């Protein structure tokens, strides 16, 4: 009788441990998601939009030479696209989070998309908070204008 009870207790403990381990892996940055692809983590991006309804290549052609310290990224969304000069990511000038992904697809509410591409917000400092999924998709949770 004690052998059966010990076996049941051990089996229950093993199942509980397996469930907790799986849950912890799903919550870790870089873990996978069945709906959005791999998650690289929450990001805070600071910078300013330099043009609306333009492409990264167009901005680079006009500038001919990219000024030092300028990090240009194209953010594309269903209603348009903008090119943004990013000055900081997660509070520092290190761009490892966005490395190699100078063109990002953006998912956001319609009001955030309108605010991002609004002409009156050109060259104004802003902060974008969101989640970077994989290397090319940014889910924007909020956009704050820094006046």
Query: Using one digit for the tens of pLDDT, what is the confidence trace for 83-97?
Result: 999 999 887 766 666
Domain residue spans of the chain: 1-29, 39-145
DSSP label of 96 = G
Contact 106, 75 (CB under 8 A): yes
> How high is the mean pLDDT of the chain?
76
pLDDT at 126: 97
Query: Using one digit for the tens of pLDDT, what is the confidence trace for 98-132?
Result: 666 789 999 999 999 999 999 999 999 999 999 98
d(CA 28, CA 13): 23
With a threshold of 0.85, does the pTM exceed it? no
Selection from 64, 63, 147, 74 nearest residue 105 by Cα? 74
């Amino acid at each position: 009788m004690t052998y059966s009870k010990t076996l049941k207790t051990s089996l229950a403990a093993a199942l509980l441990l397996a469930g907790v381990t799986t849950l912890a892996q799903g919550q870790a940055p870089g873990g996978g998601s069945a709906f959005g692809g791999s998650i690289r983590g929450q990001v805070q991006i600071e910078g300013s939009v330099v043009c609306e309804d333009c492409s990264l290549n167009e901005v680079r052609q006009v500038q001919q030479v990219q000024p030092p310290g300028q990090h240009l990224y194209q953010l594309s969304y269903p209603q348009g696209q903008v090119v943004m000069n990013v000055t900081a990511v997660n509070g520092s000038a290190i761009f490892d989070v966005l490395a190699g992904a100078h063109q990002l697809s953006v998912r956001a509410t319609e009001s955030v998309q309108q605010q991002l591409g609004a002409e009156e917000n050109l060259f104004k400092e802003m902060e974008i908070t969101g989640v970077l999924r994989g290397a090319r998709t940014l889910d924007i949770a909020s956009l704050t204008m820094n006046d």
